[in-house]
Amino acid sequence: MLKSICIKCGKERTSFTNSPLCFCGGILVPKIDFKYREGKYLSNYPYLEKVISLGEVETPLVDLDAFKLKLDYYSLTYSYKDRGSKSLISGLISHLPP
């Protein structure tokens, strides 16, 4: 589960709930405690138990000296939103009751 901290009381969320709010009423803010890793998709989403594919493709990277460009127009939908949709749906599936 992704670590989340309440901005009001400072407590860490210990269980998954459907609400973005803490029990005190404060907003839970996700704390990312790892850096981007090149390689497998799941290595950047350790809080996902299962990844659902939506038919998206790996978009190529153009490596320039100082930075990398991701060619999102190479995707089937020509959109960078494919990765966001994939992780959103995978997260929802991961937290469905058995």
Q: Answer with the residue of higher pLDDT: 77 or 65.
A: 65
Q: Answer with the residue of higher pLDDT: 17 or 64.
A: 64
Domain of residue 60 covers 37-98
Gap between the Cα atoms of 70 and 80, Å rounded: 9
Averaged over 31-41, what is the pLDDT? 71
Among the listed ranges 45-49, 79-83, 92-96, which one has the minimum average pLDDT value? 79-83
Residue 44 DSSP SS3: helix
pLDDT band at residue 79 under the 50/70/90 scheme: low
CA trace torsion 29, 30, 34, 39 (10° rounding): -140
Question: Could you give the residue ranges of the DSSP H alpha helices within the chain?
Answer: 81-94
Q: Do 28 and 10 belong together in one domain? A: yes
Q: Do 42 and 58 belong together in one domain? A: yes
Residue 25 has pLDDT above 70, yes or no: yes
Q: Do 41 and 28 belong together in one domain? A: no
Q: What is the mean pLDDT of the chain?
A: 78
Q: Which residue, 71, 67, 68, is CA-closest to 80?
A: 71
Gap between the Cα atoms of 14 and 61, Å rounded: 37
- Please give the tally of structural domains in the chain: 2
Q: Do 73 and 42 belong together in one domain? A: yes
